[in-house]
Amino acid sequence: MNYKMLKVILIIFLFNSFAYPQSKLLIPMESSGQANHLKAYGVAYRFLLEGGELDWLLNFKGGAFMFSYSSRIENECKSKGVSYELLDGTAAAQVYAAVKDESNNMDIIRLEKVAKIAVYVPPNALPWDDAVQLVLDYAEIPYQKLWDEEVLSDKLKGVDWIHLHHEDFTGQYGKFFANYGASPWYLTQKAVNEETAKKLGFGKVSKLKLAVVKKLKEYVSNGGFLFTMCSATDTYDISLASQYTDICDVMYDGDPFDPDANLKLDYSECMALENFQVELNPYIYKYSNIDITQDLLSIGQFNDYFKLVEFSAKLDPVPSMLTQCHTALVSGFLGQTSGFRKDFLKKNVTVMGMNEGLNLVKYIHGNYGKGTFTFFGGHDPEDYAHLVGAPPTELNMHPNSPGYRLILNNVLFPAAKKKKLKT
């Protein structure tokens, strides 16, 4: 071997030593390679919380996580039942090279600053009635709870990411009056909301919720990340659109609705939806013609699937992050709002999951101001219908849930170094 060859080998060795100075720990996220997908997100989040950085390898082994090796991370993976692989410097370099290869739909996203998480939830809510709280608790990701008073008193300033779930921002208490109007839980819910509205100086609950929605809209505009599920999706925009009229009947706010309300909706106020019509009949369990629940019921549970859209990891990293999963076809699930008619989406909205051939959308994302919003239809990814009074979902039985994994994608993606959305 001549001197020039030795010099080349030394340079390559030094380069690899600089780029990958340590062995790596890889958490694979494909279907067959991971024992507990949900706990894996908790391992990643806590590592970031401690000040570490890691790489999210989009579309590589189902969206794997790559860490610089430490015995602490390895021991945590073992204790949480999370599958992992140990890679030396050479093997790690080969992985990075494959992900960066322009011929592969993959990319490397550096996760660096963990998001501070909050969940919007009333004080009387049952903790298992919110899929996000369930999975955050299961993954052991810390969060704080906020409700109307905290939101309106600017407690959002210390929050990077907030979740809204089983909430009716129209002031109609979920439109449960017809079936549950005399139920103790309904009366308690109504009383708590009315007392809160009075305390904060609002004559109607609908006016209180509108103020909350506007504050959340301002939060997103200033750079916040908003994630909503179930009825907090469409009622968020319905509240904004109906702010110049009255869509609530007597049993909700003490006076009748405006019969011309649908002529007075202002869709320019909405973030994601437009051109819809509100269901004014208080006895019909439906907020508007946005929701697709009846369509899904007509096709039946065993035919209810939505397909995740495949994006270019290198050109569209945000929707790519949000759709990382070990399957492209995810079982559907119902909610007060189960999804959205595609015709009512604004043009700036990115569809990330939908029932193919039916024009029924499950999972959307968009930008507003400096921040982003994600709407995910349905209530509980592992409880198809989730009836009132149903027992909590035991995530120990669903450690590889694709639907719950989509939720956790949203928790992690604010930690990424941002690239501009191009699609």
Q: Domain map of the chain by residue range?
A: 3-111, 117-415
Strand partners, 278: 288
What DSSP state is assigned to residue 276?
-
Tens digits of residue pLDDT in 335-347: 999 999 999 999 9
Residues in the chain, overall count: 423
Helix boundaries (H) for 274-401: 293-299, 317-322
Structural contact between residues 98 and 61, judged by C-beta atoms closer than 8 angstroms: no
d(CA 205, CA 240): 14
Task: List CB contacts of 386: < 8 A, sequence separation 6 or more.
Answer: 333, 334, 335, 379, 380
pTM metric for this prediction: 0.92
Asked if 381 and 130 touch (Cβ cutoff 8 Å), the reply is no
Compute φ and ψ for 415, nearest 5 degrees.
-80, -5
SS3 322: helix
Cα torsion angle, 289, 311, 326, 399, sign: negative
Tens of pLDDT along the chain (423 residues) come to 554 444 434 444 444 444 444 699 999 999 999 999 999 999 999 999 999 999 999 999 999 999 999 999 999 999 999 999 999 999 999 999 999 999 999 999 999 999 999 999 988 777 668 999 999 999 999 999 999 999 999 899 999 999 998 899 999 999 999 999 999 989 999 999 999 999 999 999 999 999 999 999 999 999 999 999 999 999 999 999 999 999 999 999 999 999 999 999 999 999 999 999 999 999 999 999 999 999 999 999 999 999 999 999 999 999 999 999 999 999 999 999 999 999 999 999 999 999 988 889 999 999 999 999 999 999 999 999 988 778 889 999 999 999 999 999 999 999 997 655 444
| Contact between 57 and 15 (Cβ < 8 Å) | no
Cβ atoms of 278 and 287 within 8 Å: the answer is yes
Burial class (CB in 10 A: 0-12, 13-18, 19+), 1: exposed
Where is 7: in which H helix or E strand? helix 3-19
- Going by C-beta distance under 8 Å and a sequence separation of 6 or more, which residues neighbour residue 388? 180
**What is the CATH T-level fold of the domain 3-111, as seen in this structure?**
Alpha-Beta Plaits (3.30.70)
**CA 24 to the chain's CA centroid:** 29
Q: Coil, strand, or helix at residue 57?
A: strand
If we measure between CA atoms, which residue out of 137, 149, 27, 123 comes closest to residue 83? 27
Q: Which CATH superfamily does the domain covering 117-415 fall into?
A: Class I glutamine amidotransferase (GATase) domain (3.40.50.880)
CB 124 within 8 A of CB 111: no
- Kindly state the tokens that stand for 304: 């209810």
Residue 92 burial (10 A CB sphere; 0-12, 13-18, 19+):
buried
- pLDDT one-digit tens code per residue, 134-180: 999 999 999 999 999 999 998 999 999 999 988 999 999 999 999 99
Q: What is the DSSP string of 128-171?
A: GG-HHHHHHHHHT---EEE-HHHHHTTGGGG-SEEEE-S--TTS
Which 8-state DSSP code applies to residue 417? P
Q: Is beta strand 340-341 parallel, antiparallel or unpaired with respect to 360-368?
A: antiparallel
